[in-house]
Amino acid sequence: MDSNNVSIGSNNVSMESNNVSMEGNNESMERSNVSMEGNNVSMERKNASMESNNVSMESNNVSIENNNVSMEGNNVSMERKNASIVWNRL
């Protein structure tokens, strides 16, 4: 069990770097990690497989943030189109 705990610690270190980019969400994540520690003791093997899935989800969330940034630019162009439609109605 000690060897598994060491691997979990290495994953927590990688999470800290992600927490820096999301300071508001970091506080809620820290509490959930504390509650997961109790579950890790009873289900060490299952949690180990879930950790790898969580890592892949984090990379997907990063790509979604980039997409949201591009959508803001599109919304700005849509406002100009709506303005032209209002002038045509007048």
Tens-place pLDDT, residues 78-87: 444 544 445 5
The answer to whether 19 and 26 are in contact (CB under 8 A) is: yes
Which domain covers residue 31, as residue numbers? 2-89
Q: Which residues contact 30 (CB under 8 A, 6 or more apart)?
A: 19
Amino acid letter, residue 37:
E
| pLDDT, position 58 | 43
Query: Whole-number mean pLDDT of the chain?
Result: 44
| pLDDT, position 5 | 44
- How many structural domains compose the chain? 1
- Give the confidence band of 88 by pLDDT, cuts at 50, 70, 90: low
| pLDDT, position 65 | 42
The answer to whether 40 and 47 are in contact (CB under 8 A) is: yes
Please report where in the chains the tokens 């290495």 appear, as a residue: 10
| pLDDT, position 90 | 54
| pLDDT, position 20 | 39
The pLDDT tens digits of the residues spanning 12-43 come to 444 444 443 444 444 444 444 444 444 444 44
